[in-house]
Amino acid sequence: PTTLKTYGARAAAHPNATARRLLETMERKKTNLCVSVDVTKSADVLEVVRRVAPAVCMVKTHIDIIEDFTPALTAELARLADENDFVIFEDRKFADIGNTVSLQYSSGVHRIAEWSHMTNAHPLPGPGIITGLGVVGKPLGRALLLLAEMSSAGNLATGEYTRTAVRMAREAGRDWVVGFIAMGRVDEGGDADEDFLVLTPGVGLVAKGDKLGQQYRTPREVVYDSGCDVIIVGRGIYGVQGGAEAVLAEAEKYRAEGWKAYEERLSK
């Protein structure tokens, strides 16, 4: 199964350029940590990213929360990604018909496809959302994730919905849909050479949740117990007390925990 293969071996066999880049970076930097930079000013985004860069394989953005957005921010993020060897994931959660999402992905103020290596979509509207995003993203070598599950209490992405999301990804092909936002290995039972990435939010070493339904598990629960590939951590890292130094130290703590859980999983 996928969970017993190294990130490096998986990189070598992957048909999608962005998935390959991510898996190679994970192997090279020994990190399965993605930091979610959910702050609302450009300078603060860049400050957090510069701090955590050595510890991450990926930086996740919500570009629509930035109050002072200009294209200089995304240009600088792209530059930092190349300089520091990480992948950018805009957590856009597209959820409309194919024609609309292709416009939302390519156009508007944010022009997401221009700078974000990876993005994600809800499978809710049906396969047209995958095709519509693919018209824009595939020629650029981008990658798409489907939200097969969510971390928040009471969410509807369960059971048959989750299974249908996985079926939609298989039908779309791994050269475009490279994996899932999910809480575990939703892709079990696939072909031997199938390789989906599972990226998992709702990760915290201290808090068990927030007041708005978020639910946290530890890196070990996510990577070792549930077989996920990438841990996504937001407030647990950028929200830590103690300023910029403390942010990198905290990121390094999560990186080490996530990597240890991965190494133990390989010899399960």
Query: Which one among 59, 169, 232, 251 touches ligand BMP, defined by CB under 6 A?
Result: 232
- Provide the terminal-to-terminal Cα distance of the chain, rounded to the nearest Å: 11
Query: Which one among 202, 219, 227, 258 touches ligand BMP, defined by CB under 6 A?
Result: 202
Non-local CB neighbours of 49 within 8 Å, separated by 6+ positions = 35, 37, 59, 77, 80
Q: Which of 41, 93, 138, 260 is catalytic?
A: 93
Site for ligand BMP in 150-189 (CB under 6 A): 150-152, 181
Span of 24-32, 50-58, 135-143, 234-242 interacting with ligand BMP by CB under 6 A: 234-242
Query: Which one among 98, 201, 219, 227 touches ligand BMP, defined by CB under 6 A?
Result: 201
Non-local CB neighbours of 225 within 8 Å, separated by 6+ positions = none
Centre a 10 Å sphere on the Cβ of residue 232 and count the other Cβ atoms it contains: 22
Residue 104, CA distances (Å) to 64, 159, 205 in order: 12, 29, 35
Query: Which one among 25, 104, 214, 218 touches ligand BMP, defined by CB under 6 A?
Result: 214
Min dist. Cβ of residue 62 to ligand BMP (A): 6
Span of 110-118, 122-130, 144-152, 168-176 interacting with ligand BMP by CB under 6 A: 144-152
Whether 93 is catalytic: yes
7: tokens are 């990130």
Q: Where are the alpha helices (DSSP H) in the chain?
A: 7-13, 17-29, 42-52, 71-84, 98-106, 112-115, 128-137, 159-172, 219-220, 235-238, 243-266
Binding mask 124-143 for ligand BMP (x = CB under 6 A): --------------------
CA atoms of 48 and 80, how far apart (whole Å): 12
Min dist. Cβ of residue 137 to ligand BMP (A): 18
CA atoms of 235 and 123, how far apart (whole Å): 27
Residue 234 within binding range of ligand BMP, rule CB under 6 A: yes
Q: Which residues are catalytic?
A: 93
Query: Where does this chain bind ligand BMP (CB under 6 A)?
Result: 36, 38, 62, 91, 150-152, 181, 201-202, 214, 232-236
